Amino acid sequence: MTIEEWAERIQAGDPRNIARAITAIESGDPASIPLLKLVFRSGRRAAVVGITGAPGAGKSTLVERLAASYRATGLRTSILAVDPTSSFTGGAILGDRVRMQRLATDTGVYIRSMATRGHWGGLASATYDAVTVLEAAGSDVVLIETVGVGQGEIEVARLAGAAVLLLVPGMGDEVQTFKAGVMEIADIFVINKSDRGGANRLEHDITSMLSVSPRQDGWQPPVVKTVSTTGEGIDALRHALDGFQSFCARTPLGKSREREKWRERLLDMARRDLFARVAGPLLGDGWVDEVVAEVMARRTDPYSAVEEMVKKGLESRG
Amino acid sequence: MTIEEWAERIQAGDPRNIARAITAIESGDPASIPLLKLVFRSGRRAAVVGITGAPGAGKSTLVERLAASYRATGLRTSILAVDPTSSFTGGAILGDRVRMQRLATDTGVYIRSMATRGHWGGLASATYDAVTVLEAAGSDVVLIETVGVGQGEIEVARLAGAAVLLLVPGMGDEVQTFKAGVMEIADIFVINKSDRGGANRLEHDITSMLSVSPRQDGWQPPVVKTVSTTGEGIDALRHALDGFQSFCARTPLGKSREREKWRERLLDMARRDLFARVAGPLLGDGWVDEVVAEVMARRTDPYSAVEEMVKKGLESRG
């Protein structure tokens, strides 16, 4: 099968070839680049929603409910579960198979876990590329679920599209400590497990925080209460997401977010590409291990070692 | 003042010049590189402990207590609070001033928040460089406190030295969802706020998880219960940390962890350095904004655009 045929089958929505493409992206297979060039040209776009929250906040269940809601209105929906854990265990714990259960019989849903053996940075980049494949394959909506609430996870959610932050009651008076860095980036707040005590208190804390530091772009992040196990509040969340997307479309926010996304991505891609071209050949020689040994023995410092290595790499090309 | 004098003052432990150095690192000031080369050569080393945990887990208080414990045994101790939030608010929320209160009168403690306007990646790199400065300045112990429990935060803690993961009771039966990716990396588990209900249950869950998947390197992560507000359990945590450090010293783990740290760091530094040299000049021309516009209009695809840019950058050097 040629790359062109592969791209065609993806655009026809063939699950096996979509899966093959995402695996190629995940493993850094060079064949993924010409493929991505082709599928990017399909010009198809999806609404992308990034969902992040602490472990145990109920993300998976919420994401499944949300997918079902999109499906109910006829939208083709994909779920990407970004699962850095797999890099340590060698297999996706979230388990596509387990998660398929509820939505398994619906061919309009595509579910996939993403992981890489390498860095978080690589995983984020692979996730965006996977979105490109899913868009070409005709997804109307892509839900990206990230495990964890670190800066990296939130960045992925935000650059993806709408950033949804899941919180649960019971953190009590500590919502302040959740800090602006995480809180300011969320476009929509979800208080899941809102049947637990403390939901109103948490809602109040978030609302206060938002009124103290309103966003510069004019968007007022709504706070939605859900119980993902029963499906309560999912309609309200859908409504909030639709509201955000329409706000993005009619104000400069949509374009500026997209501009920011592409800027970050292009710079990141260029950094990787450059490194692969220039440093790649040196790495093959076991150069890095040698320098690591030198640095550990304090025979050189890492700053000088890196300069020398980059110089060497650039010279070997001239 | 020459770079040499600056380095000398840092090695003499002068707080103002230490602060200046960390600010230079944070802001990417090129002067920080020759300075880091000099201070790295001091050859001084500190025991580095990375503390991570969900917001509200009580990290700051625990870190202060732990610092006080190291001080009580005469060890010079530094605290680096890695605070990505600052990148959005333009100032460190954790507030060196507020946190100084308890330890303020002690000249053997140095406290500093770290932030960068840029990426998480940049912040991690700056944190390691700051550790180099604090080591040269004579710190015996450096405590790195990271906000959040994402993959990036855990990586920082782990590559720093001992990785301590703070948990709090109340997550109930959801500790499983904390997943291997975060759990497997921790060298020491701390159940803080252990006076709350559910502490024993949480301890049991962690212990079960650890027995199901024991670590390959032979280290058995201890589970320590603390109440950071009262100081309960801090001695046990100290003991656990000392135990880990001695394990690292007498088994291959110490060296292999250090090797891994330098490998990651050198590759990351090389990636940045290379990009600055080759792509830097192009970026000045507004090239990126132009390409972003092209990609958004779908007149080109990001993969081809990046290839072209890297080729151009390399050619312009030849």
**Could you give the ipTM of this predicted complex?**
0.81
Q: Which residue of B has its CA nearest to A34?
A: B303
- Orientation of helix A253-278 relative to helix A302-315, angle to 10°: 80
Question: How far is it, in rounded angstroms, from Cα B42 to Cα A92?
Answer: 44
Chain A residues touching B62 at Cβ < 8 A: none
Closest approach of chain A CAs to the CA of B59, in angstroms? 10
pLDDT of residue B90: 32
Test mutation, A306, A307, A317, chain B, max B CBs within 10 A: A306
pLDDT of residue B95: 39
Q: A249-289, pLDDT tens digit by residue?
A: 999 999 998 888 888 888 888 888 888 887 777 666 677 88
Q: pLDDT band for position B100 (50/70/90)?
A: very low
Cβ within 8 Å, pair A305-B266: yes
Confidence at B172, pLDDT banded by 50, 70, 90: very low
> What's the gap in Å between the CA of A266 and the closest CA on chain B?
7
Per-residue pLDDT, averaged over A54-70, amounts to: 86
Q: Which domains does chain A have, with CATH numbers?
A: 3-251 (3.40.50.300), 279-315 (no CATH)
A90 band by pLDDT with thresholds 50, 70 and 90: very low
The whole-number average pLDDT for the span A16-41 is 92
With a cut of 50, say whether residue A176 has pLDDT above it: no
d(CA B133, CA B128): 9
Residue B283 has pLDDT above 80, yes or no: no
Q: Which residue has the higher pLDDT, B25 or B158?
A: B25
Closest C-alpha to A65, from A240, A243, A233: A233
SS3 string of chain A?
A: CCHHHHHHHHHCCCHHHHHHHHHHHHCCCCCHHHHHHHHHCCCCCCEEEEEEECCCCCHHHHHHHHHHHHHHCCCCEEEEEECCCHHHHCCCCCCHHHHHHHHCCCCCEEEEEECCCCCHHHHHHHHHHHHHHHHHCCCCEEEEEEEECCHHHHHHHHHHCEEEEEECCCCHHHHHHHHHHHHCCCCEEEECCCCCCCHHHHHHHHHHHHHHCCCCCCCCCCEEECECCCCECHHHHHHHHHHHHHHHHHCCHHHHHHHHHHHHHHHHHHHHHHHHHHCHHHHHCCHHHHHHHHHHCCCCCHHHHHHHHHHHHHHCCC
**Distance from the A138 Cα atom to the nearest Cα atom in chain B, whole angstroms:** 17
Do the strands B77-82 and B141-147 form a parallel or antiparallel pair, or are they unpaired?
parallel
The better pLDDT of the pair A264, A62 is held by A62
Q: What is the mean pLDDT of residues B162-188?
A: 68
pLDDT confidence tier of residue B98, bands split at 50, 70 and 90:
very low
Question: pLDDT digit string (tens) for B69-93?
Answer: 999 999 999 999 886 554 333 333 3
Measured between CB atoms, which of A55, A265, A274 is closest to B302? A265
Residues of A in contact with B306 (CB under 8 A): 266, 269-270, 273
Yes or no: say if A53 and A59 are a contact pair by the CB < 8 Å rule: yes
C-beta atoms surrounding A263 within 10 Å: 16
Nearest to A181 among B84, B155, B180 (CB): B84
Question: Residue B94: its pLDDT value, please?
Answer: 37
Nearest CA in chain B to A305: B266
Query: DSSP label at B187?
Result: S
Mean predicted confidence (pLDDT) in B166-173? 69
Q: What confidence category does residue B195 fall into, taking pLDDT thresholds of 50, 70 and 90? A: very high
Residue B38 Cα, gap to closest chain A Cα (Å): 9
State residue B176's pLDDT score: 43
CB contact under 8 A, B55 and A179: yes
Q: Is the pLDDT of residue B294 over 80?
A: yes
Q: Cα–chain-centroid distance for residue B79?
A: 11
Contact assessment for residue B146 and residue A146, using Cβ atoms and an 8 Å cutoff: no
Q: Which residues of B touch A54 (CB under 8 A)?
A: 54, 149
Contact between A177 and B121 using a beta-carbon 8 Å cutoff: no
Contact at CB, A267 and B288, closer than 8 angstroms: yes
Number of A/B CB contacts below 8 angstroms equals 245
For residues B268-284, one letter each, b for 16 or more C-beta atoms within 10 angstroms of the residue's C-beta and e for the rest, the string is: bbbbbbbbebbbeebbe
The verdict on a CB contact (< 8 Å) between B36 and A298 is no
Is A262–B150 a contact, with Cβ atoms under 8 angstroms apart? no
Q: Quick check: A88 pLDDT over 50?
A: no
CB-CB neighbors (< 8 A) of B271 in chain A: 271-272, 274-275, 279
Could you tell me how far CA A114 lies from the centroid of its own chain?
A: 9
The 10s digit of each residue's pLDDT in A154-169 is 667 767 789 998 888 8
Model pLDDT, residue A260: 85
Residues of B in contact with A259 (CB under 8 A): 292, 296
Q: How many CB atoms lie within 10 A of CB B176?
A: 15
Mutate to test the interface with A, among B179, B215, B229, B300 (most CBs of A within 10 A): B179
pTM, 2 dp: 0.74
* CB-based contacts of B208, cutoff 8 Å, min separation 6: none
Question: How are strands ordered across the β-sheet holding B162-167?
Answer: B109-114, B77-82, B141-147, B47-53, B162-167, B188-191, B223-225
Q: What is the DSSP letter of B213?
A: S
Contact A78, A141 (CB under 8 A): yes
CA angle B136–B142–B146, rounded 5-degree value: 130
| Inter-chain touch A298–B150, beta carbons under 8 Å | no
pLDDT at residue A152 greater than cutoff 70: no
- Indicate the average pLDDT of chain A: 81
Beta bridge partners of A296: none
Q: Do A296 and B262 touch (CB under 8 A)?
A: yes
Report how far apart, in Å, the C-alpha atoms of B175 and of each of A56, B20, B35, B237 are: 7, 42, 44, 21
The pLDDT mean for chain B works out to: 82
Q: What is residue A234's predicted lDDT score, i.e. its pLDDT?
A: 97
Does the beta-carbon distance from B54 to A54 stay under 8 Å? yes
Chain B closest-CA separation from residue A60 CA (Å): 10
